[in-house]
Amino acid sequence: MVDSLKNEKKEYKELFLKYRQEDKVLALYITTTLDCQLDCPYCFEGNNKTKEYMTKEDADKIKTWTTHYLNKNFCDKIRVIFYGGEPLLNKKLIRYILPKLKNIADEKKLSFETGILTNGEFFDLEIGKFLKKYNLNKIQITLDGPENCHNARRHRKKSKKGTFQKIINNIFCLIENDIIEKIDIRINFDKQNISFIPELFDLFVDNKIEKRISLSFGIITPTIYINTKNYFEENTLGQTINAEKYLWLCSEAKKRGFSIPKEFLSGPWCATRKIHSAVILPRGNIVKCISLVGRNDFIFGNINNCDNLEDEQFTNFEYISNCLEQNCPLVPICGGGCRFEAYLSKGDFSKPHCQRKMVETINKGLVLLNYK
C-alpha cells in the first residue's frame, strides 16, 4: 500500500538519481580485441570488426589510469568484464592485465570480481582456472540452439565450420571442474531458430547439468549496420510475437527443471546510466555502451586524458520524466528503455524507447510462470 499523498513520480526520479550517485562500483568492460572468429548475421558490430588488439602497452596505461581514477573518485569495488569482439582471442592480454588490476584493488582494500562475455569456443580449462583465481562470478556464453541450428548461425567466418561441439565440450569441462557455480547461457532468438531451442534444453537435461545453467533469452533487434538490414527484415518477430515466444521459451525451460527469470528488465540500469563505468577499447579509447563497440563516432574519451567517465550523450534523464508523465506503471522495470535502441529508433540517446506492450506482457507471464 502507498500513501495517497505521496508523490511517487517525484520519489522515483529522486531514488534513481540517488542510486546512481551511491553506486560505487568501478565497472571496466575491457575490450581485448575488436576481432572475432565468427560470422553471426545479427551481430551489432556488423562488418566493423577489425584486427585491432589491445596490447601490453595499452594494459599498462589502463593500470595507471585506474589508479589515477580511484585517487580522484571513491569506489568500493572494481568489476572487470572482458568483452570483444571475442575476448579470448587475446588471452595473453587477459593474463597480463588481470593481476595488475587485482593488485590495485588489494592495495586500496577494494572488493574485486571478474566476468567475461564470450562465444565460448576458446574457453578451455586453463583459462577457466586462471580467471577463477580472480573472483570469477560471471561467464556468459552464447548458444543459439542445438548443433545444426547453432552452426547455421554462429560459424567460423572463412571456413564456415560449426562451433557448437567445441563450445559444449568447454561448458561441460568448466562445470565438471567447478570453475563457477552457474554458467549463463545466452540464447538469441528470431524466426530462424525459435522452434529448435528446446532441443538445447534437452541436451543439458540429458547431461544432468540443468541446475548449473542460467538461461537468458535475447530478443534479436536491428542494429546500426545497413549490411544486416535484409536479415532483420526477414527474421525479426515484432513486439507481440517476441513476448509470446519469450514466455514460451520460459515455459519450456521450466518444464525441464531450469530456473527462469523472475522479471524482464528492458533497460532501467546499465553501464550508460552508471557514473563509474567505461567500455575501454584498444588504444585506450572509451565508449559508454557495449553496443557501441566498433563505432569510432561514439568515442567520448581516452584513458590518456580522461578523469570523468560521464558521457554527456547519456546524462540527460528527461526521458524518464516523459515516461512518468504518461503514468506508465512500468517505469521501474523499464526506466525509459534501452539507450542504444532509443538511438536506433529515434536517432537520440536521450529519447524514450517504449516497449510497453512487450514488457508488460512478458512480466505478467513471468509472474504466472513463477508463482501460480
- Same domain, yes or no, for 68 and 98? yes
Q: Is the pLDDT of residue 235 over 80?
A: yes
323, 209: one domain:
no
Lowest mean pLDDT among 45-49, 50-54, 152-156: 45-49
Is 328 found in the same domain as 200? no
**Does one domain contain both 127 and 67?**
yes
Mean pLDDT of 249-277: 90
Which range, of 41-45, 114-118, 354-358, averages the lowest pLDDT? 41-45
Residue 18 lies in a domain: no
Contact residues for 161 (Cβ-Cβ < 8 A; gap 6+): 155
**Torsion sign across C-alpha atoms 158, 147, 31, 352:** positive
What are the backbone dihedrals phi and psi of residue 135, each rounded to the nearest 5 degrees, phi first?
Answer: 55, 55
Residues 267 and 182 occupy one common structural domain? yes
Does position 322 have pLDDT exceeding 80, yes or no?
A: yes
Distance from C-alpha of 216 to C-alpha of 70, rounded to nearest angstrom: 33
**Co-location of 85 and 142 in the same domain:** yes
Whether 187 and 264 share a structural domain: yes
Q: Which phi and psi angles does 192 have, rounded to 5°?
A: -60, -40
One domain for residues 202 and 243: yes
Q: Which of 293, 311, 329 is the last residue of a domain?
A: 311
Indicate if 89 and 191 belong to the same structural domain.
Answer: yes
Within-domain flag for 6:
no
- According to DSSP, residue 156 is labeled B
Report the half-sphere exposure of 176 (CA within 13 A, side-chain side): 9
**pLDDT of res. 71:** 96
pLDDT digits (tens, 9 = 90+) for 66-82: 999 999 999 999 999 99
Q: Grade residue 47 by pLDDT with cuts at 50, 70 and 90.
A: low
Domain co-membership, 272 together with 372: no
pLDDT at position 222 is 72
Strand 213-219: give its sheet, edge to edge: 213-219, 183-189, 136-142, 111-118, 77-83, 25-31, 277-280, 285-287, 301-302
Whether 126 maps to a domain, the answer reads: yes
- 174 pLDDT exceeds 90? yes
On whether residue 132 sits in a domain, the answer given is: yes
Question: 3-state DSSP call for residue 82?
Answer: strand
Q: At what angle do helices 239-255 and 197-206 cross, to 10 degrees?
A: 20
Please indicate, yes or no, if residue 168 is contained in any of the structural domains. Answer: yes
Nearest to 311 by CA among 354, 340, 336: 340
User: For residue 164, what pLDDT is reported?
Assistant: 97
pLDDT over 90 (residue 229): no
Same domain, 303 and 165: yes
Give the number of domains in the chain. 2
Separation between Cα atoms, residue 314 and residue 125, nearest integer Å: 39
- pLDDT tens digits, 195-219: 999 999 999 999 999 999 999 999 8
pLDDT, one tens digit per residue, over 149-173 is: 999 999 998 899 999 999 999 999 9
| Structural domain harbouring 230 | 24-311
**β-bridge mates for residue 81, sequence order:** 29, 115
pLDDT of residue 227: 56
Closest CA to 98 of 141, 140, 129: 129
Is residue 106 assigned to a domain?
yes
Residue 159 CA: distances (Å) to CA of 38, 142, 145, 151, 155: 10, 20, 20, 12, 8
Per-residue pLDDT of 99-147, as tens digits, reads 999 999 999 999 999 999 999 999 999 999 999 999 999 999 999 999 9
CATH number at residue 282: 3.20.20.70
Q: Are residues 95 and 205 in the same domain?
A: yes
